[in-house]
Every structure is written in C-alpha cells, then in structure tokens.
Structure 1
Amino acid sequence: MHVESSSEGAHKVFFRILGPLRVCCGEREVPLPENRQLAVLAVLLTEVNKAVPLGRLVDAVWGDTPPVTADKQIQTCVWRLRKALVNGGTRADLIETVRGGYLLRLPDGSLDTHLFEEFRERGRARAEAGDPKGAVDDYRAALALFRGEPLAGLASRALEPVAAYWAERRLSLLEECFDVELALGRHRELVGELSLLVDEHPLREQLRGRLMTALYLSDRRADALAVYHAGRAALVSHVGLDPCARLQELHQRIIAGHPVLPTDAFSRPEPALRGRSRAAG
C-alpha cells in the first residue's frame, strides 16, 4: 500500500466513487458544486491520470443534445471544480488543462477504486499462498470501500456503464470472498448476508449456489432446497430458463444427502448460457 510523505500529507486528498461522489482533504469533506460539475469530476475520476477529451465531458453532461455553448460551459465547470477543491485544501494543480481536454492527476492511494484493486489483488495472492484468513481480511477491506451504488445520484447515461462495472466488481469479489469463508467453515455466519444478496439479485445463480451450500453445511437441508426452487421459479418467470447445470448438480447432491464441498458452489468460471435447456412452461 502507498504511504504518503509528510509533504504529500499536507494536501492529502481522497476521492470516492464507490457510492455517492465524495472528496476528502485530510479529515474534512470538501464541499463540491453540484449537477454538471459533479458529472465532469466523475468522468475525470474514471479516467484518472489520463487526458479526457472535451467531447466526452460534453457527452456526460448533456448526452446527444448539447447546447451550442457546451465547450464554454465545460470550461466554467472545470473552473468551479478547481476553485472548490482549492478552497477545500487540495493542491491547485489537480486538474490540468491539456490539448483538447482535461486531466485529473492523483498520487497513488487517492481513489477508492484503486484501493479496491490493491486489496483485491493482495487478497488473491494471500489465498494462493495458503493464507485464507489474511485473504478474507483483504477482501473485506476492499468491499468496505463501497458506501452504496457506485456514483449514486449522478444522472448521466455516459456514467451508467462505469457504475455497472463497479457494481459487478463488488459482486464478483463477494463471491470470491464467500468461497474462502466457506472453506474456513464460516457457513453459519454467512447465511444472513447471502440471503440478503440473493433477495437483491434473484437471477444471480452464483450467489444462490453459495447460499444453498452455506445452508446445507449448516444442517438446513430443507431451506437449501427451498432456495433452489425459488431460484428456478424466478429464472423460468424472467428468462424462460432452467437453472444452469452446476446449480442443478448441487441441487441433486443436496437431495441425495451427499457431501458438498465449499468449492462445489461455483468456484469455477460460469459457462455461457449456450446449451441450457429451455424450461417447460
């Protein structure tokens, strides 16, 4: 992890996009202009340390219907952002004007998505090195960086794919974390968290398989089977498909009372939908 020098600490700034967009300088939250300025800042953060063309910023603010004065209004947005950041205690040169656009330059450890990736990679390395408890600590530290839906409250179609990307990264890491925690024998502790996630994402079979496994390992066989049937009903109703082959296999093992290992709950990459049987009715 990056450790800042004392000179960096004087202007220590931290940006958050894994939830509502927030900026902190030291221990203080920086008041930011709203609406257009936040959309501009969000785009600069998603391309941090890279030049962002002016046209992309215009698209993030107005979509397909920009005004004729869009370029000048973006300039005003950037001016207001710079002023707000400096007033909040940051360095004056965070947002640079470059040829054809702008660039937000940040040191390591200044953006929550970067910290997320650092914790994630360190957790994977610990898991591979045979340190599952350390891996879980890092995975959970990464997941704790989320404070809600990524970029929550920003109504910009250009930012929707970015928000969806980070929401998926969170779920994928949760699934990795659950696998390690199940292997550590924490199945009873995970049932509540997994139940909430399955309710939020009823078509995500990877989560459902892990919940079924946690319930079965907790001697709740009937509940595990009920979770499977609820998932099948949801899949048939929404997309006209039966559960994937691995979920069906897990279901059959639970019915038969066969041993189920934590790794049976979708540790391998999920194959494409091609080849699934279409549900009757």
Structure 2
Amino acid sequence: MARTNDIGLLPDYLKNNGYEEAHTTYSTRLFSLEIHERQSFYSQINDFENYYRNPKKYKGRFYIGVQLTLLHKQHIEALPPEQSELTIEEYIEIDRDFYFKKLQAMSERLLVRNRNPEDFEKEIIEKEKWDSRPYIRPITNMDPTLQKEFDITFNDSRRQFAQVKNQVQISLNLDFSNNAILEELETHLKFLRKQKGDKFKKPKDKIHRLKQQKILQVMDVYLWQQLSNIQIEYEPLAGFLYPHGKFSGKKLGDEIWPLAESLLDSRSIESQFLFYRADKEYAETVT
C-alpha cells in the first residue's frame, strides 16, 4: 500500500458535514446499524480482493450479488466482436469502481440537514427491518423461543455468537426467591471466574467516545484506503479528521485507527459490546 501525506487525494464525499451531524444526532441504535453496514461492506471488498487474487481457490464461494452480475453482463454485451469475455483486469476495474460508488452513496446518505424528515424516518425503519447485527447478551436463555420472547431487539435475521470460551450453563430453580437466586449466582460467578482465570472488567459505555472520535468517518476513510491501496500518514489525516486538534496523529494511529479496524470485524469484542450496549439502550426506551 502506497503511503502519502497528500490529504487532497481524499474524495469530497469523505469531507462532508454529514459525519458531524450523524455523530451528534444519531441514536445509539441507528449508530450501531451504520457500523454494521460498514462491516458488511468491508466483508464484501475483502471477498472481492481475495477472489481476484486466487479465483480458483474461491470459485463457487464468492457471490458477487445481483447488481454486480448485471453490471458484468452490461460490460460483456458492450465488448467489441473480437472479444468474447472480460479480462481479469477489466473485472477488477469494474468491481472496484462499483465499490467506490457504493462507499460514496453510504457516505453521502449521512447528509441529513436538508433531507425530508419523512424520508429519513423511512430509511431508519428500512435499516431496522433488515437488522442482521450479530447478537450477544451476558445471559442467554438456552430455550431460543423464550429468549426471543424476552429480547425486544431480536429478530430472525440476526445470529447469536456461540462464545464457547467464556460460556457456561447454569440451571435456575424458580421455586426460590429472586434474592436467593441472585445471591447464589453472585457466589457462583466468583467461583467460575477464579476457576477460568478470567479477570472481570467492568463494562464501560464507549459509544459517546466513539462519536467524539468520528468513528464513522474514520471507518469510511479506512475503507477508501483499502479500495484505493493508498495509506495517508496519521498526522495529516488527524488534521483532516479533527481540524481543531482534538486528537493527534499519534492518538489516531495508536488507538482510533486500530479501533476502527476492529469495529469493521463483526466478531470482534469491540463490535459485540457496542451492539450489546446499543440494544440495551434501545430496550430501555421502549419498555
């Protein structure tokens, strides 16, 4: 990946005011849905790059989707008579341009200042309708039907992580009082942590901090760099992202950038905890 200090290479859509507004106005739930959309996009471009590096290895396991299939067909139909098929280089160029446009659309959709409020509300509902954020909870009912009835944020399109490493099953006897069960559970939890050697870390709500760090904009810049194969140095990039000097290039490189990279992975601890907190806050507003 080529390294540069030239901030001017960044496209205009990555400089729009929509990021500031989104980080200020979006609910935690909508914020988490935006992050998951970027996770899905990151997975797509990784599949795209892996496939074209080794098409034989990934043949049959890489589905490009309806839009790209139709786009390929259009380009094939436009080929001169002497050429019956697109070259690998042409496929790569077509696909990369497609993903650049998709990233631009995802970025520009954040501009909400002059948007019709009804259109914005419709978009939120549409996002929630197709909510597929990976599902995580500190306690899970082993009966999926009961868990689904309990959890207001769960739907059929979401999958639950099976955290085998730190997952144990405990049977509760509901003939006992709540106090007796909670007292026993607290004692048993101390025992389990000691046996498993896990250090208990008090959960901290980092969502407000993520918004201060403009994490959606950082993630989109990261995605653009992956597609363009260009890496802008952290110091000038920090000046671009935080023009008032809130965060330095060192802070960006040591903490914020790795965090954005981690959040692009739906299986990361940071991602799982963020979605859990988003669901928790959403449930508190509707119950």
Q: Give the TM interval when normalised to the shorter protein.
A: under 0.3
TM-score between both structures, scaled by the size of structure 1:
0.25
Higher RCO, Cα 8 Å, sep 6+: 2
Structure with higher strand content: 1
TM-score between both structures, scaled by the size of structure 2:
0.25
